[in-house]
Amino acid sequence: ETGVTQTPRHLVMGMTNKKSLKCEQHLGHNAMYWYKQSAKKPLELMFVYNFKEQTENNSVPSRFSPECPNSSHLFLHLHTLQPEDSALYLCASSQDGAGGLGEQYFGPGTRLTVT
């Protein structure tokens, strides 16, 4: 099993709800990521935190709001989502030094359905 946990594993929410996804890594890594995976599409990188600083925001709509309180925890706050946001949301972590390693460890994901 990986050292990255995510909760909840499944979430159904209405378009007016507010919810949060949680990710925790127990690997001592210094970088954490949020990805979106839709059916038959490549993983889409949403946010990157390196040493707790957000270093990437791939034009993600503001209805998705990340939070990284420390190097082990990562949240994704959701509000006023659209049905097309239904997808598998994956958290990952890695230990990155100069040049980057590129080996990322994924959590089991949260399967989100927006109704």
Partner 1 sequence: RKEVEQDPGPFNVPEGATVAFNCTYSNSASQSFFWYRQDCRKEPKLLMSVYSSGNEDGRFTAQLNRASQYISLLIRDSKLSDSATYLCVVNKPDDYKLSFGAGTTVTVRA
When binding is defined by CB under 8 A, the residue of 5, 45, 63, 72 that contacts partner 1 is 45
> Does the protein bind partner 1 through residue 83 (CB under 8 A)?
no
When binding is defined by CB under 8 A, the residue of 41, 62, 70, 84 that contacts partner 1 is 41
When binding is defined by CB under 8 A, the residue of 5, 50, 65, 80 that contacts partner 1 is 50
CA dihedral (31, 34, 104, 99) positive or negative: negative
Compute the least distance from the CB of residue 18 to partner 1, in Å.
25
Task: Please tell me the number of Cα atoms within 13 Å of 67 on its side-chain side.
Answer: 8
First to last CA, the chain: 31
For residues 37 and 46, the answer to whether their CB atoms sit within 8 Å is no
Which residues here bind partner 1, judged by CB under 8 A? 2, 31, 40-43, 45, 48, 50, 56, 90, 94, 96, 98-109, 111
